[in-house]
Amino acid sequence: MDYQLDLDWNDFLQRYWQKRPVILKRGFKNFVDPISPDELAGLAMENEVDSRLVSQQDGRWQVAHGPFESYDHLGENNWSILVQAVDHWHVPSSALMRPFRKLPDWRTDDLMISFSVPGGGVGPHLDQYDVFIIQGTGRRRWRVGEKHPLRQHSPHPDLLQVEPFDAIIDEEMEPGDILYIPPGFPHEGYALENSLNYSVGFRAPNSRELISGFADFVLANELGSERYSDPDLALRENPSEVQSAELEKLRGMMMSQLQNQDNFNLWFGEFVSQSRHELDIAPPEPPYQAGEIYELLQSGESLERLGGLRVINVAGSCYVNGEIIVTEHSAAAQALAREYVINAAMLGEALDDPSFLVTLAALINSGYWFFRD
């Protein structure tokens, strides 16, 4: 399915992105669900798939985590199944991510899909990331409040909710409607009838994650081995004092690692190209030889990218699933990062270089790209 989003992106970015929530009525015209409730329930039974079941009765909330063996115990009201990273596992659903590529790939996270019966939802809460919520089959009522401090509480150890709030948006959404919510705006949605919802979420790393990730990179690459030295050390009246110049020198030692642009770029490319969820990797058996790949592409075959695979361009170098693509053919690498489906013309003269074919074979044999059947 080729989903076409009816949205003026320049206007949206200026007026709403990270500023105000908005409902985009009929953002997808004649919307067709890429997945059925039964298919979603089946995914939630798989070990590799991150899923949960949220229910409530008389204000008592329950959360169970998949994989699930049966749904026979569930009633007709007040529960939802939520499945993360469905774009990794279900090819038709991954098409819903494509219309949002007007926004940078590195900021995009995954597609979460929920199925809810009447009354189903996760309660009032807020997120620290941007999200587009697409209404599929059914109707759901959404309330969104103003961004201001709200007390949070946990009615269940696996749920974090907020206190009641006044709504600035209070509407029923129908198939094809899209609700955009910036970080920090409280919101609450519950199904009015059996409903499918699709949430396109965005990454927003905090300083703690960045510092931790960069520290891991420094350790893994054995960087920062320079030791503190003070050949001009002078006597001081108070031996317990750490002087400001010493603190500044220590800070400078740490900052020098961040200020090494090449190392920073390499780290960030590895960091941001890693998926937060499992990928449906199935390496080909037997593995492809470089010559086979050349012949298939030259005969008109195309390569398709694995669903959910992150291929990110940082400062002219391309990274896939935490690793840099080492090649002299930058245009071919850029094509791998830019396009979901690759043909011989997109790779150009790189196909005539045996070393590039070896690199491409390694990517295909890792299960990252595959030939369409």
**Dist CA 59 CA 26 (whole Å):** 33
What average pLDDT is seen over the chain?
A: 96
**Dist CA 93 CA 98 (whole Å):** 10
pTM: 0.93
Per residue in 241-257, pLDDT tens? 999 999 999 999 999 99
Q: Are residues 294 and 198 in the same domain?
A: no
Q: Are residues 49 and 182 in the same domain?
A: yes
Choose one of 202, 231, 251: the last residue of a domain. 202
Per residue in 202-242, pLDDT tens? 999 999 999 999 999 999 999 999 999 999 999 999 999 99
The tally of domains found in the chain comes to: 2
Residues 258-284 have a mean pLDDT of 96
Question: What percentage of the chain exceeds 90 in pLDDT?
Answer: 97
Give the pLDDT score at 373. Answer: 67
Beta strands 60-65 and 79-83, pairing class? unpaired
Give the pLDDT score at 314. Answer: 97
Residue 304: pLDDT over 90: yes
Give the pLDDT score at 196. Answer: 98
**Dist CA 108 CA 127 (whole Å):** 15
In a domain, 297, yes or no: yes
Do 94 and 2 meet the contact criterion of CB atoms below 8 Å apart? no
Per residue in 82-132, pLDDT tens? 999 999 999 999 999 999 999 999 999 999 999 999 999 999 999 999 999
Give the pLDDT score at 306. Answer: 96
Count of CA atoms in the C-beta half-sphere (13 A) of 290: 12
What range defines the domain where residue 362 resides? 290-371
Per residue in 134-186, pLDDT tens? 999 999 999 999 999 899 999 999 999 999 999 999 999 999 999 999 999 99
In a domain, 216, yes or no: no
**Dist CA 4 CA 26 (whole Å):** 11
In a domain, 236, yes or no: no
In a domain, 213, yes or no: no
CATH at 363: 3.40.366.30
Residue 62: pLDDT over 70: yes
Question: Which H or E run includes 65?
Answer: strand 60-65
Give the pLDDT score at 58. Answer: 86
User: Which of 297, 294, 313 has its CA nearest to residue 353?
Assistant: 294
In a domain, 340, yes or no: yes
Choose one of 202, 236, 265: the last residue of a domain. 202
**Dist CA 65 CA 318 (whole Å):** 35
Q: Are residues 17 and 163 in the same domain?
A: yes
Give the pLDDT score at 366. Answer: 97
R_g of the chain computed on alpha carbons: 25
Q: Are residues 41 and 184 in the same domain?
A: yes
Q: Are residues 57 and 180 in the same domain?
A: yes
Cβ-based neighbours of 204, under 8 Å, separated by 6 or more: 107, 128, 129, 130, 183
In a domain, 69, yes or no: yes
Give the pLDDT score at 372. Answer: 80
Q: Are residues 295 and 190 in the same domain?
A: no
Q: Are residues 196 and 306 in the same domain?
A: no
Q: Are residues 44 and 184 in the same domain?
A: yes
Q: Are residues 327 and 197 in the same domain?
A: no
In a domain, 269, yes or no: no
Q: Are residues 304 and 183 in the same domain?
A: no
Residues 59-80 have a mean pLDDT of 94
Per residue in 190-201, pLDDT tens? 999 999 999 999
Secondary structure (3-state) at 350 = helix
CATH at 119: 2.60.120.650
Choose one of 202, 223, 245: the last residue of a domain. 202
In a domain, 134, yes or no: yes
Give the pLDDT score at 36. Answer: 97
